[in-house]
Amino acid sequence: MTLGARRLLPGLALLLLAAWFVLPLVPLALWGLADRWSAPAVLPQEWGLSGVAEAAEQGAGSGVVGSLALGGLVAMLATPLGALAGRALASRHLPASVLVGAVLLSPLVVPPFVVAMGFDVLLLRLAVPAWAGVVLLLTVAALPYTTYVMRTAYGGYDQGFDDEARTLGASPRQVVRLVQVPVLTPALAAAAFLAFLVGWSDYVVTVLVGGGRLVTLPLLVASATSAVGNEAQVAALSLLAVLPPLALLLIVAAIGRRGRKVRA
Partner 1 sequence: MAADGPRRQPVTGLPLAAPGRRTHTAGPLHTGRSRRSPRRRALLLILPAVVPTGAVVLAALTSALLSSLGLTPLVGQPRLTLDPWRAPTDHLWTAAGLSVAIATAATVLAALVGLATALAITGRRRSGRLLALLSSATIPVPHVVGAAAVGLLLADAGFLPRVLGVETGWPPLVGGRWWIAVVAEYAWKESAFIALVVSSALASRVASYRDTAIVLGARPWARLRYVTLPLAAPALVASAGISFVYVLGSYEVAWLLGRPSPEPLPVLAFRLFTSLELTARPEAAAVAVATAALALAAVAVAAAALRRMEGWR
Counting residues that bind partner 1 (by CB under 8 A) gives 86
Q: What gap in Å lies between CA 172 and CA 169, rounded to an integer?
A: 10
For residue 249, state whether it binds partner 1 (rule: CB under 8 A).
yes
Select from 51-59, 78-86, 180-188, 255-263 the region that touches partner 1 (CB under 8 A). Answer: 78-86
Angle at 21 between CA 20 and CA 22, to 5 degrees: 100
Nearest CA to 235 out of 72, 20, 47, 16 is that of: 47
For residue 130, state whether it binds partner 1 (rule: CB under 8 A).
no
For residue 79, state whether it binds partner 1 (rule: CB under 8 A).
no
Which 84-103 positions form the footprint of partner 1 (CB under 8 A)? 84-85, 87-89, 91-95, 100, 103
Select from 47-55, 114-122, 183-191, 255-263 the region that touches partner 1 (CB under 8 A). Answer: 114-122
Which 181-220 positions form the footprint of partner 1 (CB under 8 A)? 197, 200-204, 208, 217-218
Which 138-177 positions form the footprint of partner 1 (CB under 8 A)? 139-140, 143, 147, 163, 166, 172
For residue 227, state whether it binds partner 1 (rule: CB under 8 A).
no
For 67, phi then psi, to 5°, come to -65, -40
* Run of H or E including 36: strand 34-36
Minimum distance from CB of 262 to partner 1 (Å)? 18
Is the separation of the CB atoms in 46 and 34 below 8 Å? yes
For residue 113, state whether it binds partner 1 (rule: CB under 8 A).
yes
Q: What gap in Å lies between CA 186 and CA 13, rounded to an integer?
A: 32
Q: What gap in Å lies between CA 234 and CA 199, rounded to an integer?
A: 20
Q: Categorise residue 194: left if φ over 0, alpha if ψ from -120 to 50, beta otherwise.
A: alpha
Residue among 246, 261, 263, 264 that touches partner 1 (CB under 8 A): 246
Q: Which is nearer to partner 1, 73 or 143 (CB)?
A: 143
Nearest CA to 175 out of 184, 185, 162, 164 is that of: 162
Select from 39-47, 58-66, 177-185, 255-263 the region that touches partner 1 (CB under 8 A). Answer: 39-47
Minimum distance from CB of 69 to partner 1 (Å)? 16
Q: Directed axis angle between helix 50-57 and helix 25-32, to 10°?
A: 90
**C-alpha torsion angle, residues 243, 244, 249, 255 (rounded to 10):** 140
For residue 25, state whether it binds partner 1 (rule: CB under 8 A).
yes
Select from 20-28, 49-57, 177-185, 256-264 the region that touches partner 1 (CB under 8 A). Answer: 20-28
For residue 112, state whether it binds partner 1 (rule: CB under 8 A).
yes
Q: Taking the CB of residue 181, how many other CB atoms lie within 10 A of it? A: 12
Select from 47-55, 178-186, 238-246, 255-263 the region that touches partner 1 (CB under 8 A). Answer: 238-246
Q: Strand, coil or helix: what is 41?
A: coil
Select from 7-15, 55-63, 181-189, 255-263 the region that touches partner 1 (CB under 8 A). Answer: 7-15
Q: Which is nearer to partner 1, 4 or 98 (CB)?
A: 98
Q: What gap in Å lies between CA 140 and CA 237, rounded to an integer?
A: 27
* Run of H or E including 120: helix 112-126
